[in-house]
Amino acid sequence: MKYLCLIVFLAIVIAQNSSYLGVKAVSSDGFVSRKGVQFILNGKPFYANGFNAYWLAYEATDPTTRFKITYVFQNATIHGLTIARTWGFRDGGYRALQIAPGVYDEKTFQGLDFAIAEAKRLGIKMIITFVNNYSDFGGRKQYVDWAKTTGQNVSSDDDFYTNPLVKQYYKNHVKTMVNRVNTFTKVAYKDEPTILGWELMNEPQCRADPSGKTLMAWINEMAPYVKSVDSKHLLSTGLEGFYGDSSPQRKTSLNPVAANVLGTDFIANHNLDAIDFASIHSYPDLWFPNLDEKSRLDFLRKWLVDHLEDAQNILRKPLILGEFGKPTNIPGYTQAQRDAVFNATFDTIYESAQKGGPAAGALFWHVISDGMTNFKDPLSIVLSENSTTVNIITEESRKLGLIGGKGKLSKTKI
């Protein structure tokens, strides 16, 4: 308890004194780049496990709650986790980042600034997503609604991908993000090596065109655009990994039936020069609720192995498992089941990485800080609880880091 109180006190002092971070936020690491199927950092292959924390900017908008970001980052480094995936959006609504097209709330932007600055200070790389597929925190729906208020003839969320004004809204947001100068570090996001890369969208889907042509056209337009305004960072799609018409055998053998109407194509959507690494997610409990536990675990392994095989042989790019987890509210849930999912996931990633394969790391969904009841859900994990799952996370992340040449768990710097 004394340690926690000290953390909270120091974090509040840091959060209220931007000049401290401006002086201290000097990273010894360079940009993460790509060579073949591997990430490279400072001339060496880079492998790292990590976590999702979509709430970072939201909580950091209020200086009195910024200690939660500091505390969760410090816990992450103690447990060997060195990649954080978070939202670079909150479109409309409470604590919005983008209040209206091209109009931003400076307090919320400073919250994201703080999260990036703390990640830099503590040696964590970040993957930041530009927009949400879903209406949570605005997403595609908010962009379409904004266009509708100007008299645009739009009626579906999927008009996001084709309406010229909506597409311009998206490009404007991307440009604003990459050109943002961090108020703590004084470094533009596009020049910040703490950012590992960007994602075009969280779990893009287009039900209006199951053939995949509409989403493919959008990626073909937006991926090169992102690269045109930020050539230093890596880029991925944010896809779940469902196969499309370019891989009929995989589509039949791997996709949940419901995924075949989502208009995505794992191979085609990643197989362009502007996309640097592949993205997949894994939720067999949600995709196959009627399967037994062993069958879901078998699917998980096959899902990962087959995607890694395609990343190696077809895409020739690294792959990050951007989301995975085990919900605690499914019938018959046990801690041992969650441990089995984490073990199977991390073991598969490690086996690929150990051979120099494309598996760059796995990011579980999702971490929260102590006492964060407002973001607690059946998938959340508190690292300080030191559960058996957290022990697995720690050991597996240590092993993966050794392959990349880090040699030991990061030390927490206060």
Asked if 391 and 80 touch (Cβ cutoff 8 Å), the reply is no
Going by their DSSP bridges, the two strands 125-129 and 195-199 should be labelled as parallel
Catalytic-labelled residue, pool 118, 192, 199, 203: 203
DSSP for 381-405, written as a single string:
B-GGG--HHHHHHHHHHHHHHHHTT
Cβ proximity of 261 and 207 under 8 Å: yes
26-37: b (≥16 Cβ within 10 Å) or e: eeeeebbbbeeb
Q: Which residues fall within 8 angstroms of residue 249, CB to CB, at 6 or more apart?
A: none
For 152, the 3-state DSSP assignment is coil
> Is residue 323 flagged as an active site residue?
yes
> 3-class DSSP state for residue 276?
coil
Torsion angles phi and psi, residue 287, rounded to 5? -80, -30
Compute the distance between CA of residue 169 and CA of residue 85 in angstroms, rounded to an integer: 23
Asked if residues 180 and 128 have their Cβ atoms less than 8 Å apart, the reply is no
Strand runs labelled E in 278-325: 278-282, 319-324
Tokens of 174: 């991307």
Catalytic residue among 323, 351, 385, 396: 323
CB atoms within 10 A of CB 198: 26
**How do 98-100 and 103-104 pair as beta strands?**
antiparallel
Instruction: Work out whether the CA dihedral 131, 133, 134, 140 comes out positive or negative.
Output: positive
State the Cα–Cα distance between residues 116 and 106, nearest whole angstrom.
15
Report the distance separating Cα 196 and Cα 47, nearest Å.
Answer: 12
The span from the CA of 248 to the CA of 254, in Å, is 10
In angstroms, how far is the first alpha carbon of the chain from the final one? 17
The two structure tokens encoding residue 334: 């046990």
Q: Which sequence positions are flagged as catalytic?
A: 203, 323
